[in-house]
Amino acid sequence: MGLLSLLLNNPFAFILIAIPLMYAIIFHELAHGWVAYRMGDSTAKEMGRLSLNPLKHLDPVGTLMLFIFGFGWAKPVPVNFSQIHDFRKGMILVSSAGIIANMILAFIALFLYNFMSLQASSITGTLLLTFARINIVLAAFNLIPLPPLDGSKILLGFAPKSVQTFLLSLERFGFFIIIGLLYLGVLDPVIDFLQGIILSIISLLLP
């Protein structure tokens, strides 16, 4: 269901999903730019993209797709890898940053939910569970090793030249392949696996 249908049918649910989704995406992109900046690339900072302002990150087409189809994207943070001394290391760390940021946010949300012994029926509990779920889904989605997703860039940092060439050749078909994989539900086991890791860590931290 797209966000537009949700807004028309259930405005409260729209707010409950739209705001956490927006900031999950913002933190994801911000993490890319921040790690690139720490590694020597100031492109994102110079373009004002190291910001929590949603207007700096929203992509008009991606936002429209999200509202209509429930599947969209933000403007990718610009990264100039030529300013990063170690290209492979930069590719791996910068690309991983968004996924790690989403996992950290999901961990914080689930930790607070369990620490405060909240119920899923409460507003705070629902917000935390929704925020955690959105971040886990974003992390799982971006782990797909197909361009233009982060997973492909992480793989490029490790892969030999032949694999890099093959991955880059898939870029023009990547969007359609990704849509097909989502339709087949391939993300479900990855989402469950990532959530299981977070909950296992939380169970070790909380009595």
For the stretch 164-195, pLDDT in tens is 888 888 878 877 888 888 788 888 999 999 99
Within 10 angstroms of residue 25's Cβ, the number of other Cβ atoms is 25
Residue 94 has a pLDDT of 96
Cis peptide before 189 (omega within 30 of 0): no
Residue 193 has a pLDDT of 96
User: Over the range 85-117, which residues count as b (16 or more CB within 10 Å of their CB) and which as e?
Assistant: eeeeebbbbbbbbbbebbbebbbebbbbbeeee
- The burial class, CB within 10 Å (0-12 / 13-18 / 19+), for 62 is middle
H helix runs in 47-149, sequence order: 60-69, 87-115, 123-142
Residue 71 has a pLDDT of 63
Cβ contact 40:83 at 8 Å? yes
Is the model's pLDDT at 70 over the cut of 80?
no
Phi, psi of 84, rounded to the nearest 5 degrees:
-100, 125
Longest pairwise C-alpha distance within the chain: 52
Catalytic residue among 17, 24, 28, 29: 29
DSSP string, 55-69: GGTB-HHHHHHHHHH
What's the token pair of residue 70? Answer: 């429930």
Averaged over 138-143, what is the pLDDT? 93
Is the model's pLDDT at 22 over the cut of 90?
no
Is the model's pLDDT at 55 over the cut of 60?
yes
Residues 81, 84: Cα–Cα separation, whole Å: 5
Residues 69, 60: Cα–Cα separation, whole Å: 14
Residues 23, 97: Cα–Cα separation, whole Å: 15
What's the token pair of residue 88? Answer: 């492979």
Does residue 171 carry a catalytic annotation?
Answer: no
What pTM was estimated for this model as a whole? Answer: 0.89
